[in-house]
Amino acid sequence: MQCVPKSVSTTVGAIVLAVTAYAVPGTTGANASGAAGFKLVPHRAVYDMNLGDSEEQAGIAGLSGRMVYDFSGSACEGYSVNFRFVTEFQDTDGGSQITDLQTTSFEEPRAESYQFLSKTFVDQKLVEATRGTARNGKKVRTVELKEPSEKSLEIGREVLFPTEHLLTILKAAEAGVHFVAADIYDGAETGEKVYATTTVIGAKAVNDATTDADHVDAPLSGKSYWPVTVAYFDPTAEDASGELLPVYQLSFWLYENGISGHLKLDYGDFTIHGKMASLELFDETECPQQ
């Protein structure tokens, strides 16, 4: 058996949502500031990933890895994300497998377009690659795929790009709204899927981490955050009873400055936990006044 998550290709989309906080450059109809007062910080975050709970049917005996996330850009220039997640899985038969997930993306201000490239390697062999561009249109959004094959498709105008989705969550959180439902497109898997999502937003809190400069959480000390859980659903995959079950659920702390921590991916029969190992903040670029 392959000792990888049953939906390993979608893991990229889930983790990227958690660690990017989607940088929020804005959404259609939003003002130029986009983030409605949220100041998002360019940064590099490193997370140690480990297996949490695991049921027998998962077939996973162990999991460990590291995730590196680089975010740069500004609300006026757009945002770039470079991401890598290397993980070793051990199965219950004693076998092991190393997966290496790599993604880059760029989203224009106001979500005019979303460019993405993702590659998945298993034991250093390329097993999946997706590359394309999604563009905003008056009535629909169009996707031009270059990999795994050249293809054009349309997605609904109401479908959100990643930054729009996160912007919706941030605005809802600040307004005290605790539930958000939305369809999103992030180029995951073969680039042809739109996921339905539901988001539960917890009460606003403040990180009381030590201000010791050597502590990984020091830059986040005193920062406000919301505990967030996002459930991803594949509308085409119902179980025998006709019920739509989540493909996975992602929980994390979403900070007001766009950084995320305390990651948890829940696939139903096993979970993956992510703990921040290091955090480096970069200089911010101020947008010119209009």
Average pLDDT (217-237) is 88
pLDDT tens figures, 44-75? 999 999 999 988 888 888 899 999 988 888 77
pLDDT value, residue 25: 33
| Whether the Cβ atoms of residue 52 and residue 64 lie closer than 8 Å to each other | no
pLDDT value, residue 137: 84
* CA dist 100 → 2, 67, 126, 137 (Å): 14, 10, 9, 34
Structure tokens at 140: 């629909």
43 dihedral zone (left: phi>0; alpha: psi -120 to 50; beta): beta
Residue 262 has φ and ψ, to the nearest 5°, of 55, 60
pLDDT tens figures, 229-285? 999 998 877 665 667 888 889 999 998 887 889 999 898 888 999 999 999 999 887
Residue 218 to residue 221: CA distance in whole angstroms: 5
pLDDT tens figures, 63-108? 999 999 888 887 788 888 888 999 998 888 888 889 998 989 898 8
Question: What pTM value is reported for the model?
Answer: 0.82
Structure tokens at 144: 């031009």
Say if residue 148 is preceded by a cis peptide, omega within 30 of 0: yes
Residue 47 to residue 85: CA distance in whole angstroms: 9
pLDDT value, residue 37: 54
Q: Confidence class of residue 16 from pLDDT cuts 50, 70 and 90? A: very low
